[in-house]
Amino acid sequence: MKTIILKIISNTTFRLLLSVVIGMLIGMFANETVISVILPIKHVLGQIIFFLIPLLIFGFITPSITRLKRNASKLLSVSLILAYASCIGSATLAAVVGYKLIPLFDIVPATESLKEIPEMIFRLDIPPLMSVLSALVLSFMLGLSIIWTKSDKIESALYEFQNLVFIMVKRFLLPILPLFIAANFSVLAYEGALASRLPVFFAILIVTVLCHITWMTILYSSAGIYSRKNPWHVLKYYGPVVLTALGTQSSAASLGVAIEQTKKSPVLRNDIRNFAIPLFGNIHFVGSILDVVFLSLAVSQLLYGTMPGLEKMLVFIPLLGIFAIAAPGLPGGTLITSLGLIHAVLGIDEAGTALMISIFALLDSFGTTHNITSDGALTLILSSYADRHEQSLNIEGQE
């Protein structure tokens, strides 16, 4: 019995779920003094997590590219095509559903104000060595350059660095994630966001969540058909990843958990997984794009009594898929990086974008969960693609 209890307590899913419950309970009963102490803890933990993200991306993607040898450029191209096609598909689904259902909604914004968050009594900033996008580009360029120049010594050093990153994930990232999630939920509960924001746009929430489920079902079904393998052998390991994404609202912050969990999947090749999971985690924002498209239509209908024309949406969706690449690591980043595009193409003014930001904060957890969870489907497709085309990989240093 004692062994079973210890096994449950040490389970990542249980610990993350427990952190959500504890955080909500603390926030519900906390006073201003308690929250003022939690805020700097939340900030420092978040700073540590986001400091690790560029190292994590560089440490996994670059060695994986060097292992792919001649096939690196081709698999990179296939990965980018898969991610972009998936984002365009989810955005199209959101647009079709939005045009059909939003005119039927009677959406009334909430007027109840949220409780004011006290000022942070202590602030420690830990800037990352580089931005997430810089780490992504550096990984591509350095990995391909090592292949072209056959720099064996640097390649071996990168394999050692990847082992160091594995240790960072296990000893730093995973232990502090429950604390970070608990702090996030305690602040949300204290602020009243969990109680007052959810009912405000309940119809939007339900529809977007159903759209997320629909597109993930399409992706995993397609992956299963293409690979001729059961996609459940990938999806079933994403429980802890889902809880992390819900708590942090960041695909990048969930990346370490996703890498650890997908290692358990028997249908994903190790070399492809180590390459694809970090890559898709930073270019495949399928859920966030779905939210942005649906919100653009909903806010236009709410403020202006009409939705943008189809001709505008046909321009907006392809461009949005490109703009979203600059979003990794930033909660709500897809919307933030797309505000100029939303204004220029769809004509939504400052009042509209402010309303979109408010609602997006409510939906972002679900969009982030969709982002990171759907990466497993694309990784399964890429694994099968590599098998079918008999990609010859250098497995030196591979697990």
Instruction: Report the first-to-last Cα separation within the chain, whole angstroms.
Output: 34
Q: What is the predicted pLDDT for the residue at 247?
A: 73
Q: What's the average model confidence in pLDDT over 58-86?
A: 80
Contact yes or no for 278/259 (Cβ under 8 A): yes
* 217, amino acid identity: T
CA neighbor of 85 nearest in space, from 232, 271, 289: 289
pLDDT top residue among 307 and 61:
307
Q: Which domains does the chain have, with CATH numbers?
A: 1-395 (1.10.3860)
Mean pLDDT of 347-357: 73
Split at pLDDT 50, 70, 90, the class of 235 is very high
**Average confidence (pLDDT) over 246-269:** 83
Residue 227 is predicted with a pLDDT of 93
CA dist 364 and 246 (Å) reads 8
- Cα(186)–Cα(198) distance, integer angstroms: 16
Q: How confident is the model at residue 7 (pLDDT cuts 50, 70, 90)?
A: low
Coil vs helix vs strand at 331: coil
The answer on pLDDT for 391 being more than 70 is no
With beta carbons less than 8 A apart as the criterion, state whether 366 and 306 touch: no
Residue 382 CA to residue 120 CA, distance in Å, equals 45
Other C-beta atoms closer than 10 Å to the C-beta of 166 total 18
Greater pLDDT, 118 or 336: 118
Structure-block tokens of residue 189: 């509960």
Mean residue pLDDT of the chain comes to 81
Is-contact 128 325, C-beta < 8 A? no
Residues 9, 171 contacting (CB under 8 angstroms): no
Helix (H, G, I), strand (E, B) or coil at 253: coil
Q: Which residue has the higher pLDDT, 166 or 36?
A: 36
Q: Which residue has the tokens 């450029």?
A: 73
The residue ranking higher by pLDDT, 365 or 109, is 365
Q: What is the pTM of this model?
A: 0.68
- Give pLDDT, residue 332: 56
**Is residue 176 over pLDDT 90?**
no
Higher pLDDT, 123 or 249: 123
- Res 379: pLDDT: 95
The secondary structure of 92-141 as a DSSP string is HHHHHHHHHHGGG-------PPPPPPPPPS-------SS-HHHHHHHHHH
Angle at 389 between CA 73 and CA 154, to 5 degrees: 40
Mean predicted confidence (pLDDT) in 236-243? 90
* Rounded distance between C-alpha atoms, residue 41 and residue 180, angstroms: 8
User: Which of the residue ranges 115-119, 228-232, 349-353 would you say has the lowest mean pLDDT?
Assistant: 349-353
Specify the pLDDT at position 399: 43
Residue 148 pLDDT: 86
Percent of the chain predicted with pLDDT > 70: 80
Please state, as a whole number, how many other Cβ atoms lie within 10 Å of the Cβ of residue 385. Answer: 18
pLDDT, average across residues 332-338: 66
Confidence at residue 245, expressed as pLDDT on a 0 to 100 scale: 83
Question: Average pLDDT in the 289-309 region?
Answer: 88
Q: Which of 210, 208, 268, 212 shows the shortest CA–CA distance to 237?
A: 268
Q: How many other C-beta atoms can be found within 10 angstroms of the C-beta atom of residue 210?
A: 11
Q: How many CB atoms lie within 10 A of CB 371?
A: 32
pLDDT tens per residue across span 80-110: 899 999 999 999 999 999 999 888 876 544 4
